[in-house]
Amino acid sequence: MNIGIDAGGTLVKAAYMHNHSLKFKRFPISRLGDAASWINGFEKAKICMTGGKAALLKSMINYKVAEMVEFEATCDGVRYLLAKNDGSEKSYILTNVGTGTSIHHIDHNKQQRLGGTGVGGGTIMGLSQLLTGLTDYEAIVSLAAKGVRDRIDLKVSHIYEGAEPPLPGDITASNFGNILPQGSTDPLTKEDRLASVIGLVGETVAVVSVLAAGHYGVSSIIYIGSSFVRNDPLKEVVESYTKLGGASPVFPEHGEYSGAIGALLSLG
């Protein structure tokens, strides 16, 4: 049994082959011991790990464990997923939205990390808890899908009220910038607050990715990361703003497991 592990800040993700089929498994980082027990349950296993919590998880494993640089593992995994889905992209921006966001330029077999932003899935969870008290991911996404952002976010149309704006009116001029003019209007709902949190994260991720794509003269942006899992509101914001910026967004299936897949591939 060959197992690739990506132990990140929020999740431990595993990729392995079973009956000639690629399988996936994941554990929240709070259940690191359960992840170790699952791995140790195999009689024989070749294991490669990557990610920030790899060293900690490695100390709990009974087997000899190889390690791999996280960025290399992720890029190798993305190449595998794109090839599997007949993707023609050879040069593109890779944006990994996990707890935070990391941005890379991939040109055939070369990869360069361009930087990133601390705005990511951790921002969604942290701000959502501060603004609504909610800590459950599924509940946050479900409620956000029902929210309306116009009472919280300042749009271009709000600024150019009664006049023709130089930009599309529904573009956000300032995230959370429409709060002060509200005065004593009806209280903002949890749905509206959560929709604006996801809007803030999605727009930030998309805008910095589009700028990177423009700088390197590529048109495709590959978006991966656990933040997109069962999160249509985030995906819709990112897709909309990416297209608005003139680039093409791609969300490969199982993209959140790219690091684990790359670690698995290194085992041969």
Residues involved in catalysis: 70
DSSP letters, 165-223, are: -SS-TTSEEETTTTSGGGTT-SPPPHHHHHHHHHHHHHHHHHHHHHHHHHHHT--EEEE
SS3 245: coil
Q: Two tokens at 167?
A: 């930009």
Q: Which of 197, 158, 159, 190 is nearest to 176 (CA)?
A: 197
Q: What is the DSSP letter of 48?
A: E
* CA distances (Å), origin 180, targets 147, 154, 156, 176, 204: 19, 10, 16, 9, 22
Q: Two tokens at 74?
A: 């992720």
* Phi, then psi, of 53 in degrees rounded to 5: -100, 10
Whether the CB-CB separation of 178 and 162 falls below 8 Å is answered with no
